[in-house]
Structure formats: C-alpha cells, structure tokens
Structure 1
C-alpha cells in the first residue's frame, strides 16, 4: 500500500495546550483505595501512598488531573474528607453503591498530586450541593488566610493555599442517572451563578461547564446550546465525555469511531460559535474532553454487579483489561485530539489507576502498565508544541460509523524549543503494510532521533501481572531521510512515533 503525506511549516493548526494529556481519578472502585493509596502495602510510604504506582504515574508526565468525580461528586460533601482521619464519617456512595471511608480527602489527594507533579482540576457538587458549598470549598482550597475556611485549612496543617485554577461545575448533569439531574436551562442557570461566585473569589480561575455525557444522548446537541445560552460569559470550557468499544468485533468499524469523535468535536465547536454569535459575546469557550477511554470489555457485568452488591468498601469495579487493539485505538484517538487542538484544549483519560485505566495495581501485589499506557505516554511525552496540518493520500474504506476513512491516521507536532518534528502514524489496515513518503516543506531534518513502534501482536493480546511487558513499544526500523523527505514502512496494524531532529528552519534568519 502506497501512502503519501505532506507537512508545511506554516500550516499550523494551533499551539497544543499541555493539558491535552491530562487524566481523571474518581472515588470509585479501587482507583483511590488500593490504587494510589494502600497503607500497609510493601511499596507504600508512611502516608500510605503506593510508590510503585506513583512511579508509573510520573513516567506519564500528566499535566493535570480531574478529581474527585465523576458521578461520585454529585452527592459528595467535601467537608467529610478533611480534619483528623479518625473523626471522618463513613458514607454510602449512591453513584457506585459502595462505602466511602473518606480516608483520602482534598488534602491527601493534593499531597499525592504534588508528589506526582500534577496540577489539580477540582469538581464541585452541583447535584445535591449548592453554590454556597462550592464557594466554601474554593475558599478552603485557595484563600491564603484570615477567613473561617482558609484558617481551618491551616489548622489542618496546610499553611499555603493550593491555588487551583480549574473548576468543574458538576458532572454529567444531562444524565438521568446523575444524582441531582437537571434540565439544560436549570443547570445552565445554576452553573452560571456558581461560576460568577467562584470568579468573584478568584478572577484568575477557569470554569468548566457540563456538556453532553456522550453524542448519543437524546438531548445532544441542544443541551450544549441551551446551557451555554445561560452561562456563556462566565465559563471558559464546556466538557464532553465519550467511551468506546468494539462489541461487534469489527476492527475497522472500531477504528472508524475516531472519525466519529471528530464529528462530535466539530458539532460542539459549531454550537459554541453559534451561541457566541447569538450573544454578541467577546470571550471564547473551548472544549474540555474530560472523560474518554475504551470501556466495554466488562461493562455489562459490572452494571449487574453494582446492582447486586451490598455497599462494599473499595470493590473491584470497571477493571478493564486492555488488549493490543485497544492500544491502537487509543493511539488514533490521541491523534484526533492533536488535530483538533484548536478547539480541544484539555482532555482527561478516564481513569488513571485500576478503573478503566492505563495502570493496574493488585491489592497487596504488583502494579503494571496496560497496553493503552504506551500510546498515552508517547503522546504525552512527544506531542507538545504546535499541531501541524497534514495532508494524507492513502487508500480509504467505509464502515458503519463513518465513510471515507483513511487506512493511514497521522498527526504531526512541531516542538520548536526542542528542535523536533514528531510524526504519530497509525496504519489501520488489517493485512497490508504502508510505504509512507512524507514531504516536509520548510523543515531541514538532520536525522531520525527516535523511532518507536507497536506492531506484530495478536489484537487480543494483553499485559498482566505475570507478563507486564508482553505489549510494549520497541525500537523501529526502516524510517530514513532521503533528500529532505521521510520514508518509512509501516506494518499492518501498527503504531509509530518518529521524531526528527531539525536543523535551522529553512528560510529563517
């Protein structure tokens, strides 16, 4: 299969916000308890944080993390998680029908996030919670001192405020399953008043309003329009969520869902533009895709189990085991986020540890990287700088969810500070290799500095505690520069990250 691509130095999509590679962690299942926090574990420190898990998280270079939910947040009282641990209440979590011990609250999580080098994105309860609850939460977290809530934080041993800049205004409020579910108009008004109050405390913060839980909701995309008509001037982002699966066992259709996601982003971007024009507003709103991942392997079983169990503490829940096919899908979805980085500024893989996560950790046992860890890590490490437009000429196919899908999925980033051009290439063809020829106008490439590849595995192959490195990137071969062009052979069902070290940009002074 012959394929060509063209890149031009001046055809820039957008500066990529580093937060495009963010994550999400919720008080759900074993994400917190026996995930990041497990007192008594052989690798736990004196505070109970698992250092083996922390090391795997650090290697991802996660910019920001959304916390504490998720569905959990819509009935959560943040005050339950502060003060002496022995005095904290045990609550019933209605979202996941389990018991919450509150041994990890905002201060413990902030300490963990600080050690991981991750900025916090906090969600406020707009289900059972009120504007006043949100205001007090922010005052506790962000105000220096001299008030009831800031001085209470100081009495809990935290002298300096956290300075959290990203605040989510509830979670999935369009969903009938959500505790405190509202209509779009009602939610938009509440979100608007909450955003105004929070920005009155700190005008430098960014607020994120709830968009659709997925693009199959009956209220989509009217939900976004109606919500934004109520709060456009006081919010900075609108959130989108979407989970993916291959229940039909149709690999090409599965990969076509990447194109479907692009249409989802495009539709909401158009809705934002429509409301901005209608309101004659001056501010811009961007997209925060703050829940995305593959979730289907055990979804039906988990749903039945939650209904049947009797309020367990930190139960095993949504512990997907990801295969090689899922890793290829995640690689392509990250490519789509790079290509849409003019509108999508923040995106959060959901979740980070144990619960539909790139990292798994056994209770009392080892931690390891799932297959999807690797494309997420490589995009996070190398997908910084500017996103460049790329024209791809390759064979195409039709599937149920999308037509005219290219077998070759390519995203390109230019990191001028590092002097690097990075090509992320996914060959979706089931049987044919692609002989790729890339024209790079405006760049003088000195050498291939890095070529990492994931290929040659059975699509159903997975990693496990016993075989943690069965699926992992390897050094690639066959990528070479030839008279200013990149030529590479991409095997069928393969993902490549090719980094080119640049000389001085052609034509620059």
Structure 2
C-alpha cells in the first residue's frame, strides 16, 4: 500500500501547548504508595520518594501532574494531608473502597514535583464539599503569610506560596458513580460561584471546569452547554476524559478509537463556540483532556476489591494494566490526535503515571521499569513541541464499526523552528500490509534525517516486565530517506515510527 503526505511550512494548526504532555497521579491503588513514595526502598530520598521512579519521570519531561484525583478527590479532605505525619488520620476512601493513610499530602507531593521538575495541577473537592473548602485549599497553597492559611502552611514547613496556577473544579461531576454527583445545573452553578471566589483571590489562576466523563454519557454534549453557560466568563478550560479498550480483541476497531476521540474533541469545541456566541463573550475557553489512556486489562482482577470483598486495604494493586505492543499503537494514535487538535486542546494528562494504568511500573522494594506505552509518550513529549503542521494526507482506508472509514496511516507533524527540526509520528494500522509513505516537504530545504526510531513486534500481546523490561522497546530505524524535497519511509504492518529531520526554510 502507498500513502502520500504534504507538509507545508505555512500550513499550521497551532503552536502546541507543552502541557498536552502532562500526567496524573491519584491516591488510588499503588500510584502514590510504593509508586512514587516508599520510604524503605533502597533508592528512597530523604522525603521517602523513590529515586528510580523519579528518574523515569524526569526523563519524560512531564510539564505538570494532576493531583490528588480523580474520583478520590470527591470525598477528600485536603486538611488530612498536612501537619505532623503521626497525627494524620486514616480515612476510608469511598471511591475505590480502600483506606488512605494520608502520609502523602500537598507538602510531600509539592516536594516530589520539585524533585522531578514538574508543576502541580490541583483539584478541589466539589463533591462532598464546596466553595469554602476550595477557597481555603487555594489560600493554603498560594496565600501569603500573615494570613491564617499562609501562617498554617509556614508552621507546617513551607513559608513561601507554591503559586499553583492550574485548578480543577471537581472531577467527573456528571458521573452517577461520583461522590456528590450533581446535575449540570447544580454543578454549573456551584462551579461558577467557586470560580468567582477563586478569581477574587487571584485573577491569574487557570480554572478547569468538568465536562463529560466520556462521550457515551447520556448527558453529553448537553452537559457541556449547560455548565459552560454558567461558567464561561470565569473558567479557562473544560475537562474531557476518555479511555480506550479492546475487550472484543478486534484490533482494527481498537485502533480506530482515536477517530472517536477526535470527534469528541471537535463536538465539544463546537459547543464552546456556541456558548461563546450565545454569551457574546470575547474569551476563548479551551479543552483540558486531563484523563486519557488505555484501560481494560485489569478490570476482572480489580472487581473483588472494588466490591468490598477484601475490606478496606491500603494501597492494594488496582487498575494495574500490563500494556502490550498493541497498546503502543493506540497510545501513539491518541498523541497524534492531541497534536492535530492543538488549536483547542491546551492541556492533557495521561492517566496515570505510576502503577495505575501507567507507563511506569514498580515492585515494592524492587525494580521500576518502563511499560510498552512509555516510549510513544516519551518521544511525543520530548520531540512533539513546537508548531503542529496541518498535513494533507492521502491514505488507503478500512471500514470500522466504531468509526466508519479509518485511514491506515495515522500521522502528525511538528516543526520546532528554534531547533530547526521537523518531526513526524507515524502509525500503520494495517496488520497485513507494509505502508510506503511519500512525504512532500514544501517550504523546507536541506532536509536530512537526524533520528529514526521504530517500534514493531511480531506479537501484539508482547509485554514488558521486571524480569524482561526490554522485550518491547524502540529500535534505531534505517530506511527513512530525505532527498529531493521529500521524505520516504516504509512502515511495516502494525508499526510505530518517529522520524526527525533537520530542515531550513526554503
């Protein structure tokens, strides 16, 4: 099969906000405890944080991490995680039917973020709590000393404010599973008033209001319209969530999920435009896609804990999907979608970062390793920064019951003008045929291949493990050629590739 792509330096979608390569950590399963925090681990620092995990996170260059939830936040008392550790209460977490020791709270998380070089994206509880607790949390984190909350923060070891800019106004409030679930009218009114109070404290905050938990919700996209009509003038982003699954073991449908993702984003973008017009606003609300990933491998094994059959365990193994090579292709396609929709998607968080549906796994007391999906996220985060190009793609297609016609080639292109590079991320969805790609470079000169990485495996079900951490990993490619104003590259069946070029403007 053959596909053609035109990349023109003047055909640009948008400048990519680096924060689309964000991540998420929730007090869920082993994400925190024996994930990032394990005081007895051989690599633990003075704060009890695992050094091996911290290094793997640093390598990803994650710009921000969302915390502390997730469903967890909708019944969370942030005050439980401050002050002397020996005085912190153990609480029962209703979201995941586990117990929470509160040995990690805002101070410990903030110190960890400093260690790995990332910013905090914090969520307030608008489920079981409300405006007053949200205001107090923001003042504790960002307020000056000389005030009650600032002085309490100083007493607990931190005099200077953290100056956190990103604040989520609750989590998935459209979901009946959520503690404190609300209708769109109820939530929109509460979120609007909370946003107004937080703006009175600091107009520079970036506030994120809850959109639909996924595009199959019966209230979608009416939820977005109602909530935005209450909040449009006081928030900056609306959050969306989506997880991909392959329960039917049908790879062509599975690899079409990002087409559904793209439609989801476009629909909400249209709803934003509608509310903007209706409210006669001059502001532009954008999308925070702050939960996305593959999630289905662990569903059966999680059921007993979630049903309460094991009581209230602390930090049990939950949502520990072991990702295979097929998931590499899916994650790569999702990342391509965020690049192509970078005009409206300004924040995104892979959910989650460690152990819980995560690219990084750990053994308590033992090794940390990269899951298969670590690599496409790594390449996009490091090299997908710059301007997203509006590529003209002509590719053979196949018919999917999930998304209709789906091109075999999924591709995105990013120009980094400061570095003089052009990077393409390519996926061949076909499991049978090699895809020959001819990519015309228009407006660029002196193109040369500086890096070519390929991921391909004979077994779609191949995984990495502590015993075999390099079973699925990228290899140096050799077949990409840039000459005569074009790039040619061959994509084997079911493969992912990154090709980086040095370019000059022609």
Distance of 2:440 and 2:493 partners within structure 1: 22
Partner of 2:18: 18
Q: What is the correspondence of 1:24-43 to structure 2 with a 5 Å cutoff?
A: 24-43=24-43
SS at match of 2:390: strand
SS at match of 1:234: coil
Partner of 2:126: 126
1:265 aligns with 2:231: no
Cα displacement (A) at 1:143 = 1.3
Cα displacement (A) at 1:366 = 0.5
Partner of 2:164: 164
Distance of 1:477 and 1:436 partners within structure 2: 15
Cα offsets for 1:177-212 (capped at 9, x unmatched): 100000000100000011111111111110000000
SS at match of 1:214: coil
Partner of 2:78: 78
Distance of 2:458 and 2:39 partners within structure 1: 37
Q: Is the 8 A contact 2:61 2:381 kept in 1?
A: yes
SS at match of 1:30: coil
Cα displacement (A) at 1:46 = 2.1
Q: Is the 8 A contact 1:127 1:179 kept in 2?
A: yes
Q: Is the 8 A contact 2:457 2:472 kept in 1?
A: no
Cα offsets for 1:156-181 (capped at 9, x unmatched): 11121100000000000000010000
Partner of 2:299: 299
CA root-mean-square deviation: 0.8
Distance of 1:460 and 1:56 partners within structure 2: 24
Distance of 1:30 and 1:72 partners within structure 2: 13
Unaligned 5+ segments in structure 1 are none
Q: Is the 8 A contact 1:396 1:407 kept in 2?
A: yes
Partner of 1:414: 415
Distance of 2:426 and 2:470 partners within structure 1: 22
Cα displacement (A) at 1:462 = 0.1
Q: Is the 8 A contact 2:68 2:122 kept in 1?
A: yes
Distance of 2:392 and 2:139 partners within structure 1: 49
Distance of 1:231 and 1:361 partners within structure 2: 41
Q: Is the 8 A contact 1:445 1:500 kept in 2?
A: no
SS at match of 1:49: coil
Q: What is the correspondence of 1:378-393 to structure 2 with a 5 Å cutoff?
A: 378-393=379-394
Partner of 1:332: 333
Distance of 2:359 and 2:290 partners within structure 1: 16
Distance of 1:312 and 1:6 partners within structure 2: 54
Partner of 1:204: 204
Cα offsets for 1:357-376 (capped at 9, x unmatched): 00000111100000000000
1:150 aligns with 2:142: no
Distance of 1:203 and 1:382 partners within structure 2: 33
1:495 aligns with 2:488: no
Structure 1 length normalisation: TM-score? 0.98
Distance of 1:198 and 1:450 partners within structure 2: 46
Cα displacement (A) at 1:445 = 3.6
Q: What is the correspondence of 1:6-405 to structure 2 with a 5 Å cutoff?
A: 6-307=6-307, 308-405=309-406
Runs of 4+, deviation exceeding 4 Å: none
SS at match of 1:398: strand
Q: Is the 8 A contact 1:54 1:116 kept in 2?
A: yes
Partner of 2:482: 481
Distance of 1:9 and 1:410 partners within structure 2: 16
Partner of 2:448: 447
The number of aligned residues is 505
SS at match of 2:499: strand
SS at match of 1:176: coil
Cα displacement (A) at 1:446 = 3.2
Cα displacement (A) at 1:399 = 0.7
Q: Is the 8 A contact 1:210 1:238 kept in 2?
A: yes
Partner of 1:456: 457
Distance of 2:109 and 2:483 partners within structure 1: 50
Distance of 1:304 and 1:222 partners within structure 2: 35
Cα displacement (A) at 1:129 = 1.2
Distance of 1:25 and 1:168 partners within structure 2: 14
Structure 2 length normalisation: TM-score? 0.99
Cα offsets for 1:421-458 (capped at 9, x unmatched): 00111111111111111101101143101001101331
SS at match of 1:404: strand
Q: Is the 8 A contact 2:421 2:503 kept in 1?
A: yes
Cα displacement (A) at 1:299 = 1.3
Distance of 1:126 and 1:458 partners within structure 2: 45
Distance of 1:393 and 1:445 partners within structure 2: 25
Cα offsets for 1:289-327 (capped at 9, x unmatched): 000010011213313432122000111101000000001
Unaligned 5+ segments in structure 2 are none
SS at match of 1:208: strand
